[in-house]
Structure 1
Amino acid sequence: MSGPSLKKQDAHSSIHEAALNEAIELREILKKCLENKESEKATQVAQIIIEHWESRTLKHAESEEDGLYKELVQEDPNVTKLVNQLTRDHDLMRRIVGEMNELLIKNEMNERMLSLLDALIVIDSIHNEDEMNKLLIRIKQ
């Protein structure tokens, strides 16, 4: 069963917006560290970024998949295709975070890390919009 805030469009949107805004801010910090050739600080920031994505966005995604999405498909099987698309977004984000982790382990703090972050931000933005405007709009508030 999903938490009540997952079914409330405003509350759910706030969760997404806060996590995404934090991710954008962290990306800018990493960019400055790389520009200033502060490799040790860049590594620390990358660790924080990965932890952020894992503990905020991907943990939230897990709760959506385990609760909200299953409930909504049971209530209306017509949303199955959309739920599959949203779950695919989560899978892509997990893969990208995994690749970022590999770069961190190899101590490869470079433009690739920023590119991966940009991809995460774009996927998450589109995902959030689709979830709000195509899925949660169906729920009676």
Structure 2
Amino acid sequence: MSGPSLKKQDSHSSIHEAALNEAKELRQLFRKCIESDDVEKALQVAAVVIEHWESRTLQHAAAEEEGLYKDMVKENPQLERVVHELTRDHDLMRRIVSNMKERLHAEDVDNRMLSLLDSLIIIDEIHNEDEMNRLLTNSK
């Protein structure tokens, strides 16, 4: 069973928007570290970036999968494909974050990690839009 705020489009959208805005700010900070060739600070920021994605977006994703998505499919079985696609987005984000963690442990922070961050943000933006427009369209 999911919490009531997950089923309400406005409050759910606010959760997504806040996490995504924070992710974008962290991405900019990481980019500045890379551009200034400050590897030590880039390593620190990369650790914060990964923690952010794990504790905010991926934790939220797990809550959606365990509650909201199951509830929505139970209420409307036609949403099963949409839920499958949204879950795939979560899986892609988890894989990218895992790749970033491997790079962090190897102290391999460079433009490739910046590209991975950009990918996360793009996937999350598309995911959030699909969730609002295809899953929660009738929830207020």
SS at match of 1:138: coil
User: RMSD over aligned Cα, in angstroms?
Assistant: 0.6
Paired position in structure 2 for 1:3: 3
Runs of at least 5 residues in structure 2 that lack an aligned partner in the other structure: none
SS at match of 2:41: helix
Q: Residues of 1 paired with 2:76 and 2:4: CA distance?
A: 18
Runs of at least 5 residues in structure 1 that lack an aligned partner in the other structure: none
Tell me which amino acid in the other structure corresponds to 1:82.
Answer: V
Tell me which amino acid in the other structure corresponds to 2:31.
Answer: K
Paired position in structure 2 for 1:125: 125
Pairing of 1:43-58 with structure 2 (within 5 A): 43-58=43-58
Paired position in structure 1 for 2:83: 83
Pairing of 1:1-141 with structure 2 (within 5 A): 1-139=1-139, 141=140
Tell me which amino acid in the other structure corresponds to 2:8.
Answer: K
Q: Residues of 2 paired with 1:38 and 1:129: CA distance?
A: 35
- Alignment size in residue pairs: 140
- Write the deviation string for residues 14-70 of structure 1: whole angstroms up to 9, x where unpaired: 000000010001000000001111110000000000000000000000000000000
Tell me which amino acid in the other structure corresponds to 1:24.
Answer: K
* Cα offset, 1:84, TM superposition: 0.1
SS at match of 2:100: helix
Q: Residues of 1 paired with 2:109 and 2:69: CA distance?
A: 36
Q: Residues of 2 paired with 1:87 and 1:109: CA distance?
A: 28
Q: Which runs of 4+ in 1 moved over 2 A?
A: none
Task: Please give the TM-score of this superposition, normalised by the length of structure 2.
Answer: 0.99
Q: Provide the identity percentage.
A: 65
- Write the deviation string for residues 97-122 of structure 1: whole angstroms up to 9, x where unpaired: 00000000000010010000000000
Q: Residues of 1 paired with 2:37 and 2:117: CA distance?
A: 18
* Cα offset, 1:138, TM superposition: 3.2
Task: Please give the TM-score of this superposition, normalised by the length of structure 1.
Answer: 0.98
